[in-house]
Amino acid sequence: MKIKFCSYFMLVVMTFCGLAGCTSKASSTPQVATNEQVETYATYRLSDTLLEDKDYSRFLHDKASINTLVAFYNDILQSDKVLMLSAFNQAMQVKDFKGDKRFFYGTEEYLKATADLVPRQKALQINQNFFDFHQLKVVEGEAIVWEGIDYRNGMKIPILLGHQYKGIYELGDVLEIEFYSKIFPCEVVGFLAKETGVSYNGYIDEDLDTYIIFPYPPKLWPVDEVDDSFAGIVYFAMLNGEVATKASEQVLLSEIKMASEKSGFKDFQVLDKEGNPLAWQK
């Protein structure tokens, strides 16, 4: 994978993954979606370009800057020519976790080296576009009602669990889950089909049988406080995803450029599958 620029946010994530030994490659072969819908779209990566810690930190703690990202992301969501596919495999911590080490985030070596720490669980945060695009199937329970997802009001967050969680947790169970240092009550509403897998960002393959599926909100909300770092971190994770289109590359770039000009958000790039910025950005 060739990436011309690596944002500070992504560098921290990739460094942690390296320490944890998490290559995101499953030991078995998941049934990665190859449905007709996926095959008729061209996908590209979207990434921020805040390369230095100080630049990322300054942006993260500035209300006006974060709100330009909010407007940019929400504008792309409204496009009828571009799909914003947000997915991020941030490990999460479940209070009083009932499962065993197959659900833990990291390799056997990493877990032994960090035995004094409470293990985190494998998780994938996704938006509705990603769920629908990959046609993930719920075989027991019900799908997530995406319109009501809101991290601000203390509501229970509906979650899906991978197939291997069956017998460990039941429908209706409420788990306390830590997500970027905030605790959320989460209700198990469904289980995914056995051997469900997804491939995204050009280099990540996930076998979701041992994963928690945690929903992103249907849109980003403006930050109320300058120091609302939780919202900022979530927003950057949602931004660093994929965009898909059935239209031409030029149409995709035009839609994204319009969103950028309208919102004032400029700190991003669109990459092809090899990690090269598309021509208009070089």
194-197 long-range Cβ contacts below 8 angstroms, 24+ apart: 194/139, 194/163, 195/28, 195/30, 195/31, 195/163, 196/30, 196/31, 196/136, 196/137, 196/162, 196/163, 197/26, 197/29, 197/30, 197/31, 197/32, 197/33
Confidence of residue 25 (pLDDT cuts 50, 70, 90): very low
CB 161 within 8 A of CB 212: yes
pLDDT in tens, 219-272: 999 987 655 778 999 999 999 999 999 999 999 999 999 999 999 999 999 999
Residues contacting residue 184 through CB under 8 Å, at least 6 positions apart: 151, 156, 157, 176, 177, 178
d(CA 210, CA 57): 33
d(CA 202, CA 241): 10
d(CA 163, CA 155): 25
pTM, 2 dp: 0.87
d(CA 281, CA 5): 12
199 bridge partner residues: 205
212 bridge partner residues: 123, 161
DSSP 8-state code for residue 96: T
pLDDT of residue 223: 87
**Residues composing the chain:** 282
What integer best gives the mean pLDDT of the chain?
A: 87
